[in-house]
Structure 1
Amino acid sequence: MSAAWWSQAFAPEGSAAAEGIVKQLGRPSLDPLTVLVREAAQNSWDARTPDGVVDFGVDVRILGDDVAAWRRLLLPGPAEGSGVDLDAVLQPGGVVLVVSDRHTVGLGGPVRAGERASDDEKPDFVQFLRNVGEPSDHQFGGGTYGFGKAIFYRLSRAGAILVDTNTAAGGPAGRRLMGAALGHSWYLGDRRFTGRHWWGHVAPDDVPDPVLDTHAEALAESLGLPGFADGRTGTDIVILAADLGLTGSETDIRERSPHEAATFIASSILWNLWPKMIPDDDGRHMRFRVGVNGSQDLLPAPAAFDELEPFVDALRDVRVGRGAPYSRTVAPKHAGSFAMAVAGAPAGAGRLMIEAAKPFDGPPRHVARMRVAELVVDYLIGPSHPDARFAYGGVFKASEDADALFASSEPPTHDDWVAKGLSGTARGVVQGARSFVQKQLDERLGHGPQAGGVGGQGLGQLASFLAGVVPGRIFGQAAGGTEAGDGERDGVAGGWTGEVDVSGAASAGSGPGGGTAAGAALRRGGRPRVTGTPMLQVHQGLAYLVATVKVPGADVARILSADVDVVVEGGGRESEAPLGAAVPEIMQWRSAGGDVVENGRSVRISAGDESDWYVYATHVPDAVVRFNVSQVSADAS
């Protein structure tokens, strides 16, 4: 089966010009490579199969010696004057980006736009390769009108892509290979052309169709594409002559190398798609691989990065219903949920994989906003944490009832919620969501109205302030007196907080790159953290504060240490107790099963799976205290 390029002429009744399609993305503020992974992953997630985990990969490939096969297959290109010059870009030093997904349904349905899809299929092929601006037919999908596919063409220096897909429908038409290009409108003699081009098998009626079945398989193999020999379904989209973008300072700007581009793409995936890496209740999630010239590495779990861990914890709280509801008096009465988690502020610059596409400067103090599909829309900045040693991350997730209203506020790149131009309920929901999130942050960070007597003075003010400092999964708060059940004073008698402090003792694996082998093993599981709600317990007439510490699994033994400090107004640690005042003290570590008990501040945790531990501290009446848990050493031998 022969294949060639075919150029679309304007129909007498009018057609869409290529320029208009490319410009539909506008001028995004995001880096084009970031837009690419966001849009491509949305498409892949919407096309997921019900029984599999979506595998998503990006391969930055240099043509090199393979260029002869590419030129033989794709040349001659569209006619001169079309704006698509494949001859100039298909050179040994040329770069192609191969964006792949597996365990997706592929681009199925009819191969021609005028045909009706059957009841059990979706017209994905024509929606991606032929039509423009069709509404999404995926409930709670990440996309809206499909304009995002323009990024594939914009990233190509020739405006050209090649699509290889293996559809869930199977059969001879299940495997499809087709090319497409967007140039600019042009004239050939007196005849005007739209600037849209397709590469494929040109049928007798002069309309191009995809190359099918074994012919598609043979051609894809000749180009070195990933293929579908393992029988999985999915799609490979190849961006010809990819523009990898620029890097460097203002005085030393240069083009990204393939390895720099791969690192930036991996970083963009982590910041924009981390929610899809966390399995839901049914185990559904996405796995991401990025590499150069076919050598792809699996991206680490987002919780392995200090900068992302509070966002991960906040999302987990939202998923299990522990978030604060965004409630309204009129429909939709439940429009979303908010949660926030606090962690130690990362010390210095993080690993390159997280820094390359980081969407903000400094420690996290942001809220990741997302719709039901859990694809990050943006990071809404909030106030700084009152204690510079800490950072926080929040999540606001739209409800199913309000999802369409938030979708209507998004630009084609889905990277903002814009109330301007909306009206009625949609405008109220979108504007109200921003106010709701800001109010939640103010309350948790102590910037809202203070409680506790006239003028908000005394311990009541301090307790109210700390009630805002200690939200979510990492922090807990309770009130109690010198004995369980004693009364309150000024609204709160005695409080406590639990938190993870990573700014203290050095630990194996700290520093850029993860450090020692032991550090790498520990990094895979994350760091120990205080979880749940600490309790006030009374034993033989004495009161104790008990915090639960979750210790991730690791391949090496570790020594953990706990401290407990009185917190003063402003969130700082009391450096010297008043004369005669009681000072809290760590008494004991105890395993959840009770089989291991270690008196004192430190405990040795053997190598093994994740485990829960209890830390016991003496109770100090009428004080707010802070638990700190840190790793002080690891045994790499």
Structure 2
Amino acid sequence: MTRLRIYSKPRGAGDQTSGGRGKLLRATSNLTRVQVLVRETLQNSWDAKLDDWIPAYGVYVHRASEDVKRTLSDEVFTSLPESLKVLEDSLTHPKMRVMEIYDRGTSGLDGPFRAGEAAAPGAPNNFNSFVFDIGTTKDERGAGGTFGFGKTATFEVSHAHSVVYWSVCEDDAGVLEHRLIASALHEPYDEAGTRFTGAHWWGDLLEEDIVPLRGAAAQELGERLFETHFGEEETGTSILVIDPEVRVDSQEEAAAERVQVQTEEHEDLLIDEVVEALAYSAWPKVVGAGDEYPPMIFHVYKRGEEIEVSERVSDRYARYGSSLTAIRKKLDQLEGPVEPPQLHVLKETLEPIVLRPRRSFDEPLEEFFGNRSDSTAGFLHLMLTADDGTDRSGPVTSGLPTPKNQLCLMRSKAELVVYYDSVADTDLGGLQWTGVFKPTPECDFHFASSEPPTHDTWTPNTADTEVSAYVVRRTLEAVRRKTRDFLETERMAQSSANRSVRDVANALSNFVPLGPAVSEEEPEPDRSERPGRRRRVTAQRPQAVVTQHHPAPDGLGFMVEFEVKGEGGPEFALHAKPSARTSDGGMVLESSEFRLTWNGHERSGPGKNSAIFRSGSEGELHIATRTALALDLVIDVEEHI
């Protein structure tokens, strides 16, 4: 049996206590602990991806077996000091859960594994950076994670503030090696006259240095603790979060009650929050760039069964994905053709954000824009679409509904969603707008330098240099100005046409399968009538009542189901009149621009777009168009003799 050794870090001059680290993390973000955990571990995985692999990211929450709890107590978290009573209680709780977070197709925690050993210039330092260091900055300009606070988030989600790391990576000789080490970050404490920071590690001792368990022993122990193992020649990292917590009964993190996950219902809550956070922060990872696979693969499990994540995220963020594809194309970042989502786009624009640094700067333009000669800091894509009135978000349990009427701002190469900005409060009636801003690869590092540890905003005044502060500040000003101009132009167009909100909703909804417009004014009642006086009954006007409608499977047109109602002759002639709808109103379609197919009719009608139906019958109309359009449909009904 392998027993890991404990190392508790004594307090030294200049040391930062682990408890203070957690407070620093919580003070810098409006995100919940789980949201920070997801976006940071996901981004670390993305930064570590291998060139020849599609990286995978997975999350699995489950009840720890008795064997796993015994192994954790007897072989991993050994010799617990009194200050870690909370960890001891977690490990002995009969309902304790664990949360596995893993990636594959990444480099793993490679590099030196002794805390005091420096990596050679240009060589990786992932193990020391992730396991031993907090607050370190990555050297790569294109990296999404900048401060290395993702590991702090894992401790914050754990009720016991304790985790186990298991990684497979290449050693200095290029040979695959298993590495396993455990860690806990708690409050500082005193013991036997010595002050300790509250940081603990469990591993192997090498010349009095704490190092990971390595080789076959690490593999054997890891396979007993983790449900997801490593395949042959597979590299990556797995994290076991001990006794995770989930928030309940509140949208406000500060007021939310955090409870230990000890029931299946709490497991579901935690996984739901993970999925929502993945969608909110990582939707670009499911937007294909024209090659066979998406940028990243997700595996999320609920009660032992894998649930679909990528398709759900892709559907909910289709509008943002379309904008990202347009920007990728402009930046020559597509590997091949991309099939556009089935959206009814009424208006869109792609704007370069061009800056003109003032002459007082001594720095050359290369310091601002790299090797770009067009002084472009990024691209902004804005889109106006018909709001179909459906909620694509599904059940929202984490306080992260699908953004609507907001601008998404993201990093460039890493495509990390930084934050969403509503920009302006503009009422567009039955429309919704979305947009994406993405810096150029050459300017991405300016924006990275302005991010806090949790990477959830850009603050120009905190950037590393005056040049970076200028680029971020002026870019954000231009992005917001162009977005407001885009929205104001549409608002003015609607105002000049003197449309009411109701008119706009009718004209620009995803589909309007109605006949004559409803009158704005209700008729005045006939006050000459007295109680008991009999009214004359007026015959019901024949009409085609639409019962259901939906887009055609190929996205080009619609399928309309209806019922024929009316008094008079047994047969009626139905005449269909489809027209296209734009932000400027209706547009008559030429006969070559659409094709009608009737089902359920008796025979063809007297006109090209008509058919004969019996009273009370049900029918279906397929409207096929050459391109995806928002349509208005009028079906005229008259008695057929």
TM (norm. structure 2) is 0.71
**Corresponding residue number in structure 1 for 2:510:** 502
Q: Does 1:23 align with 2:50?
A: no
Q: Does 1:285 align with 2:295?
A: yes
> Is the contact between residue 24 and residue 412 of structure 1 (CA under 8 Å) also seen in structure 2?
no
Q: Deviations over 1:386-422 (max 9, x none)?
A: 5422212100001223212111211110001123445
The CA distance in 2 between the partners of 1:34 and 1:252, in whole Å, is: 14
> Is the contact between residue 90 and residue 241 of structure 1 (CA under 8 Å) also seen in structure 2?
no
The CA distance in 2 between the partners of 1:369 and 1:241, in whole Å, is: 34
Deviation at 1:504, TM superposition (A): 4.5
**Corresponding residue number in structure 1 for 2:389:** 347
Q: Provide the secondary structure at the position in 2 that maps to 1:26.
A: helix
**Corresponding residue number in structure 2 for 1:117:** 119
**Corresponding residue number in structure 1 for 2:354:** 327
**Counterpart amino acid of residue 299 in structure 1:** V
For residues 82-101 of structure 1, the aligned pairs below 5 Å read 85-101=87-103
> Is the contact between residue 338 and residue 395 of structure 1 (CA under 8 Å) also seen in structure 2?
yes
Q: Does 1:371 align with 2:381?
A: no
Q: Provide the secondary structure at the position in 1 that maps to 2:322.
A: helix
**Corresponding residue number in structure 1 for 2:589:** 585
CA gap of 1:167–1:500, structure 2 versus 1, over 3 A, is farther
**Corresponding residue number in structure 1 for 2:63:** 62
> Is the contact between residue 162 and residue 180 of structure 1 (CA under 8 Å) also seen in structure 2?
yes
**Corresponding residue number in structure 2 for 1:40:** 41
Q: Does 1:381 align with 2:389?
A: no
The CA distance in 2 between the partners of 1:133 and 1:226, in whole Å, is: 29
**Corresponding residue number in structure 1 for 2:281:** 272
CA gap of 1:329–1:528, structure 2 versus 1, over 3 A, is farther
Q: Deviations over 1:164-213 (max 9, x none)?
A: 1011448777110110111122222112222111011223x222211111
The CA distance in 2 between the partners of 1:70 and 1:285, in whole Å, is: 35
**Corresponding residue number in structure 2 for 1:401:** 442
Gaps of 5+ in 1: 463-468, 470-498, 507-518, 530-548, 552-556, 575-582, 592-598, 606-612, 617-625, 631-637
**Corresponding residue number in structure 2 for 1:610:** none
Deviation at 1:158, TM superposition (A): 1.4
Gaps of 5+ in 2: 260-264, 331-348, 358-367, 370-374, 515-547, 562-575, 596-607, 611-620, 634-641
Q: Provide the secondary structure at the position in 2 that maps to 1:261.
A: helix
The CA distance in 2 between the partners of 1:144 and 1:378, in whole Å, is: 16
CA gap of 1:114–1:148, structure 2 versus 1, over 3 A, is same
CA gap of 1:573–1:309, structure 2 versus 1, over 3 A, is same
**Counterpart amino acid of residue 486 in structure 2:** R
**Corresponding residue number in structure 1 for 2:194:** 191
Deviation at 1:384, TM superposition (A): 5.3
TM (norm. structure 1) is 0.71
**Corresponding residue number in structure 2 for 1:533:** none
CA gap of 1:18–1:387, structure 2 versus 1, over 3 A, is closer
Q: 2:452 aligns with which of 398, 405, 411?
A: 411
**Counterpart amino acid of residue 78 in structure 2:** P
For residues 452-601 of structure 1, the aligned pairs below 5 Å read 502=510, 504=512, 549=556, 563-565=578-580, 571=583, 573=585, 584-585=588-589, 587-589=591-593
Deviation at 1:10, TM superposition (A): 2.8
**Counterpart amino acid of residue 400 in structure 1:** P
The CA distance in 1 between the partners of 2:51 and 2:577, in whole Å, is: 45
Deviation at 1:105, TM superposition (A): 0.7
For residues 183-332 of structure 1, the aligned pairs below 5 Å read 183-203=186-206, 205-247=207-249, 255=259, 257-280=266-289, 285-301=295-311, 304-305=314-315, 307-321=316-330, 323-330=350-357, 331-332=368-369
The CA distance in 2 between the partners of 1:317 and 1:346, in whole Å, is: 23
Q: Report the count of equivalent residues.
A: 511
Q: Deviations over 1:444-475 (max 9, x none)?
A: 22349979xxxx9979x99xxxxxx9xxxxxx
CA gap of 1:244–1:303, structure 2 versus 1, over 3 A, is closer
The CA distance in 1 between the partners of 2:183 and 2:46, in whole Å, is: 23
**Counterpart amino acid of residue 111 in structure 2:** G
The CA distance in 1 between the partners of 2:92 and 2:393, in whole Å, is: 35
Deviation at 1:82, TM superposition (A): 5.0
Deviation at 1:133, TM superposition (A): 2.4
**Corresponding residue number in structure 1 for 2:128:** 126
Q: Provide the secondary structure at the position in 2 that maps to 1:444.
A: helix
**Counterpart amino acid of residue 34 in structure 1:** Q
Deviation at 1:231, TM superposition (A): 3.3
**Corresponding residue number in structure 1 for 2:177:** 174
Q: Deviations over 1:67-86 (max 9, x none)?
A: 33333333435311357633
Computing the radius of gyration from Cα coordinates, the structure with the larger value is 2
CA gap of 1:254–1:160, structure 2 versus 1, over 3 A, is closer
The CA distance in 2 between the partners of 1:300 and 1:629, in whole Å, is: 33
**Corresponding residue number in structure 2 for 1:496:** none
> Is the contact between residue 104 and residue 236 of structure 2 (CA under 8 Å) also seen in structure 1?
yes
Deviation at 1:152, TM superposition (A): 0.9
The CA distance in 1 between the partners of 2:25 and 2:256, in whole Å, is: 29
Q: Provide the secondary structure at the position in 1 that maps to 2:477.
A: helix
Q: Does 1:441 align with 2:456?
A: no
> Is the contact between residue 442 and residue 448 of structure 1 (CA under 8 Å) also seen in structure 2?
no
CA gap of 1:104–1:75, structure 2 versus 1, over 3 A, is closer
The CA distance in 2 between the partners of 1:165 and 1:209, in whole Å, is: 13
CA gap of 1:109–1:313, structure 2 versus 1, over 3 A, is same
Deviation at 1:14, TM superposition (A): 4.6
CA gap of 1:228–1:414, structure 2 versus 1, over 3 A, is same
Q: Deviations over 1:338-396 (max 9, x none)?
A: 0022333353544535x3345468x7100110111111001111345654222121000
**Corresponding residue number in structure 1 for 2:626:** 614
The CA distance in 2 between the partners of 1:356 and 1:113, in whole Å, is: 40
Q: Provide the secondary structure at the position in 2 that maps to 1:401.
A: helix
Q: Provide the secondary structure at the position in 2 that maps to 1:81.
A: helix
> Is the contact between residue 589 and residue 603 of structure 1 (CA under 8 Å) also seen in structure 2?
no
Q: Deviations over 1:118-149 (max 9, x none)?
A: 46740100100012222202331111121232
Q: Provide the secondary structure at the position in 2 that maps to 1:99.
A: strand
CA gap of 1:449–1:173, structure 2 versus 1, over 3 A, is closer
CA gap of 1:587–1:383, structure 2 versus 1, over 3 A, is farther
The CA distance in 1 between the partners of 2:82 and 2:175, in whole Å, is: 35
Deviation at 1:503, TM superposition (A): 5.1
Q: Once structures 1 and 2 are overlaid, which stretch shifts more, 322-331 or 271-280?
A: 322-331
The CA distance in 2 between the partners of 1:223 and 1:562, in whole Å, is: 66
Deviation at 1:329, TM superposition (A): 1.1
The CA distance in 1 between the partners of 2:199 and 2:258, in whole Å, is: 31
